[in-house]
Every structure is written in structure tokens, then in C-alpha cells.
Structure 1
């Protein structure tokens, strides 16, 4: 059914306000019973159309529509987004994080920390990724502190790169997987580059052997 949903969403984007996508979530086993009375499972289609929503889910007589909401407040910066229950995006929740900074480090201003979202993250949340992995693999932000052997980066540097478990305000990254953000780039622009760039480079150079 996911392919049909994708097709309908494409049609919705091309023809706004003409198509309503409804998930009725009926028990598929009932379809195998010839004498089963399924008439009670039919929603009031006219009422659904009058809501003006592009997408609805019907669950035991209740209607649900997708909405963005604020995550619950967290006492400190040691939090991250994690998959508490695989199989649905509803299972993504705020969880305690392992990355902590020392009290001497300043707090970041708004917009100084961004993370890129990739299809890999969707697969992880749905339980379809082939191995255990945290959400988030790329980010851009400001260096808060460095290891003793790191000499090419310093606190205050604007950096971007491959950062695992990056869906949170603070993350730990390997210095070798980071680079300074070009002056003309925003944090948002920088956070969208690492995975796409590394994928293209790996495919073209490492695998295909592309040369000048």
C-alpha cells in the first residue's frame, strides 16, 4: 500500500484540494471471511471530505490528522531523538543522550546546530534497516570542545560532516569526518551536504574508479 500512498501524494501535490487520502486500517483477516459484515467499517465519506484535510486516519471511529507538535521540554542538553518502538514514525521519541558538554562551554544560539534527515533514518524508524543504528548521520554546528590530539579544529569553529546520533543539541564526532563550513553557507545548507557528497564520492571514485 505504501506505493499507492506515494502515488496519491504525488497527485495531491499536482492537484491541491482535489484528493483526500484516508487510512481506514481494517483487519485484513476479515477480507478472507465471505460472510463477514464489513459495512460498519465504512466511514462517513461526506463528513471526511468536509474536514478539508488532505490526509486522515480512521481509528475505531476517531479521526486523526498529521500535525507538527512541540517535543516535551528536557532539563538539560543531554537528549536525542531515538526509536523507542520500531515499525512506525510514531515510535520516534525524545530520549536521554550520552553526549554531554562541560559547564564551562557556552550554550549555542538558535540555528547554530542542524542535522540532515535521510531515507536511512526512515528505514531505521520503520525497523527496515539491515542493522542496528542510531537516528541521524550528518550535521552542522559549532565545536564546543576537542580531544587532546585534535589540532586542526578548535572551540568556536563552524563545522559540518558525518555525525552519528546527530538528532539532538550536542553530539560527539570524529575530527577526521568534519570540515569547516564555507563562510557563505548557512548551517542548514551545510547539514544537507555530507551524506549526499560521501555517497556520490564513494560510488564514483571508490567503486567506479572515476578519474580525470
Structure 2
């Protein structure tokens, strides 16, 4: 095919539209973003704003459940980040409380990730992760009166992804506290 002339190749191509795209697809929930801006006293910030952080230029995408601003830096684009994650799960985690913890790290080399959900969000969670985690005995959860904590490691690893691909779904300070352990854990994969 590469030896053929462009005019010949074009005649053989078939294209079809597989879905619409809106610029808003690149950004997180505007209401959440505004709340974060108000809390952090940065009312001047807006989604799509070009900024510089530590000498790197980027664009504000929005905010996450940890109260941080999400920024895409030059050379990094949304689709590039999403290929290493389940996009539906990524968005669900950004809209809910998440956390990290470990138990006897020196012994089992695992940092556990979890999401804290209202029961009303369980259908969205099930849709985001698919049926795999619920097969063969279900999954381990911690239930509270009106909410539930779900461990994410088996789900993320079961989809062929790494925890570090979901870094922006967790509070920056919490991530930094476990960063070295996560890197060590992922070396063993």
C-alpha cells in the first residue's frame, strides 16, 4: 500500500463518524471546579485557562474530589492519559472521595486504593467497572450506614492498568506520602 500513489490510497479509505465530540468533554464538572476555586480563593481561575506551574505551561481542565485543580501540561493530552485508565472509572473517582493506605508494607508490598461512595452511586460504579469484579464471589467492601468503601487495586489491575495511572484521582499530599511505596509496588508487576 505504501508504494501506491496517494490518489489511489484515498479511493480505498472508508470513514465513518463513531461519536460526537464537544469541547466540554475535555473538562471536569464546572460546578465542582467553581467550588474549589471559591475554597482556595482563586476566583479568577477558569477552565481552559493557560497557566504555568514550576516552569511548565498547561491548561486548567477542572478540579477533582480532593479539592485540587487538574492541569494538562503541554505535550500531554486527555486521550493520551485516558489510554492507560478506564475513563469511566477515572471520572467516577474524580467525583468521589478516594484514599490510599497500607498494611505491613514491608511484608506484602501493597498500597491499597479505595473509593468512598454513596449507595446511590453504586449503579454508576458497576457501569464504570463492568461485571468482572462481581464475578466469582464478588468483592470485599466496607459498609457504613449510608456509604460504602470499595478497594480498587484488584479492579485497576484486573483491567491491565496501574495505580499510578490514576494518580490525579487522589489527594496530592496523600499520593506524595505513598509515592515511593507505589513505585516499589509497581516494579514487582
Asked if TM exceeds 0.5, the reply is no
Question: Taking structure 2 as the reference length, what is the TM-score of the superposition?
Answer: 0.26
Larger radius of gyration: 1
Length-normalised TM-score, structure 1: 0.24
